[in-house]
Structure 1
């Protein structure tokens, strides 16, 4: 039933997304989880605590922010599952944990902005999806940033929650989303969060291990179906470069995407005014263009449909 739930949730989100009117009316699960994280950060991450005390407080915060949403999800899914067609209702809730449509929309907006408004418009559009300093980016860097974000968020925002929905039902999906949101908010190496967010960052690395590898494989498979993409080079890039990324997970989708498109992604980047050295993913061109963003989107959609079909086939086999 969990695999079927993941399949149906992917179909619901693919067809309808999460409407803006619903966000304005009641918010979004990530927003609700974010409020809980902010509350715990304010009350448990006090400047008077030592680094060890902050680390312990961060572990306690992680248990609360994963446990509370998961418990709520368990109660709701149990109640709904007892109803006729209850799995459809649970799938509608599960679809809110996925971002197939919104991710593609935000990345496409970067290509459109570059084509219609030039570099300044492209910088504004890419600043909505990446954390690096947009004013430091030339046009090729804006395009690379958009493609890197597409690659990483395909893993974190779609494959991983779908995987955990399939493995643990709505409880698994919600627990994953809570932990992943915590990493994005407090899992940074800053004076305030390096100790307090240590547990969130390490836990997020762990729970993203299977999905990041699966995402790389999906992109390699998709490259075999997309005209102009190179599946063999995508696989070579994964084998050569994935393990050299500073993240234990991001290198898999980034290297696969880079190799498939003949690009060199990642490398040195500026975050918050600081230069971050990273290994290149892929050994192709650095001069990416808006056309490459659109090629990356075709690869993304193909990989996404392969994943949906895989969940559907697995659900049918298990039935």
Structure 2
């Protein structure tokens, strides 16, 4: 599949996913590509991760498991891509519909908006229940400002990981590229943790995920800055200031970029000290605004998010047109 074809698939996939999302009935019946990948990762974890092995051996086993994961998912995706492409325009549309399942514009918006709705309609307990669906931190440790910040942070980070990154790799590497990205990202979320079982075994998955998310995190920050410039209730200048000052201080080499840009754009402070389970993590603050975020700030963040998604769609639409003009 050529680059122009890949970007046309991306345009269609973004449009389909924004309009319809991933149907709940379909998820109930057959699951989701991420759940299928997750089953393979669990099987590899059971087979390759032996607690009696040394840290070095477990790290090597984790690298081998990652290579097996990428080989299996890549081969399956490439085979399906070739088979459908051979059927002509109908197959091309089918590829786009399948690729839309690798994006999460609609579901991310719904989950974050549910936190705002929960706070407004059911108070702090409603907000905690909704935010517990999208963050790993202990919701009972969060007040209203903490719940609101957590929702906005999740929106910024998942805009990068769940939308811009798979869109980037879909455009660059076609559907197979997007599937390989989702496999790597899912592996990081499942085994890339610093726990006794996965600190050594998940090292390769965590480092590889950092690498493949690097370009998208920077692009996401840029989209948020431009979206802020198009919104009278946001500041692109403050977004840039927070981005260049704070992004590098985040414990993640990538998450700090969209979070810092979002914090500056909205005049908030995000990240900072947080509690995961019973463990307090002393993270640096992103942005120099107020920390007492509210449900209204979640709504403001969602406005920026929708604008940034529109910009991403416009970028995906522009690139194949440029390719066509250059080629002609």
TM category, shorter: over 0.9
- Give me the whole-angstrom Cα distance separating, in 2, the residues matched to 1:289 and 1:72: 45
Q: Match of 1:38?
A: 42
Gaps of 5+ in 2: none
The 5 A counterparts of 1:139-150 are 139-150=144-155
SS in 2 for 1:192: coil
Gaps of 5+ in 1: none
The size of the alignment, in residue pairs, is 319
SS at match of 1:42: helix
1:184 and 2:176 aligned: no
CA distance in 1, matches of 2:17, 2:323: 23
The residue aligned with 1:138 is 143
- The separation in 2 between residues aligned to 1:8 and 1:169, in whole angstroms, is 13
Determine helix, strand or coil for the equivalent of 2:234.
coil
The residue number in structure 2 matching 1:195 is 200
Which ranges of 4 or more aligned residues in structure 1 deviate by more than 6 Å?
A: none
One of 95, 100, 108 as aligned partner of 1:103: 108
Asked if residue 254 in structure 1 is aligned to residue 259 in structure 2, the reply is yes
Query: Which residue does the alignment assign to 2:31?
Result: 27
1:212 to 208, 217, 232: 217
Q: How many Å separate the matches in 2 of 1:196 and 1:298?
A: 40
| Residue 129, structure 1, aligned to residue 145, structure 2 | no
User: 1:73 matched to which residue of 2?
Assistant: 77
Once residues 111 and 22 of structure 1 are traced to their aligned partners in structure 2, the CA distance between those partners, rounded to angstroms, is: 27
Determine if the alignment matches structure 1 residue 165 to structure 2 residue 156.
Answer: no
How high is the TM-score relative to the length of structure 1?
0.99
Q: Deviations over 1:261-298 (max 9, x none)?
A: 00000011111211111111000000000000000000
TM-fit CA distance, 1:227:
2.3
For the residues of structure 1 that align with 2:16 and 2:322, how far apart are their CA atoms?
A: 21
Corresponding residue SS for 1:208: helix
1:48 CA displacement: 1.1
Counterpart of 1:14 in structure 2 is 18
Tell me the CA shift for residue 50 of structure 1: 1.0
The Cα of 1:69 is off from its aligned counterpart by 1.0
Residue in 2 that maps onto 1:54: 58
